[in-house]
Amino acid sequence: MPHRYQITVQPLNEDGTASDASPLTFTVLNHDDLLDIVSKTRARGVVPEDEATEFAIGLKLFSEVMMRHRKSELFAPLWPEFGEFMKRLKGR
């Protein structure tokens, strides 16, 4: 059963306060529980803890699009290497 998420990217000023620019919000479906994936990524120490959410969410968003279009000219060359990368990542 796919999981549905709303993703919001809120621009910030250099001091960390909210920018006047409008946030970007979109909805995605993912076959994995993204919150669980982030938790596992943190626990495994794959990347520094302050980068774990960025890494996990970015990877999962990218991989879902790539899986849907894996036969396309753009993504097909990445597919075998990405599969190996995911095996190494999950084997940690």
* CATH code: domain of residue 58: 3.10.20.850
Q: Tell me: pLDDT of 90 over 90.
A: no
Percent of the chain residues past pLDDT 90, beyond the cut: 96
Task: Evaluate whether 34 touches 57 at the Cβ level (below 8 Å).
Answer: yes
pLDDT for 92: 73
Tokens encoding 18: 């909210």
The Cα–Cα gap between 8 and 66 comes to 21
- H-assigned helices in 1-78: 34-44, 49-68
- Region 14-23: what's the mean pLDDT? 95
Burial category of 74 from C-beta neighbours within 10 Å (exposed 0-12, middle 13-18, buried 19 and up):
exposed
**Domains in the chain, number:** 1
Query: pLDDT by residue (tens digit) across 22-52?
Result: 999 999 999 999 999 999 999 999 999 999 9
The pTM (predicted TM-score) of the whole model is 0.86
Expressed as residue numbers, the domain containing 78 is: 3-90
The Cα–Cα gap between 60 and 90 comes to 13
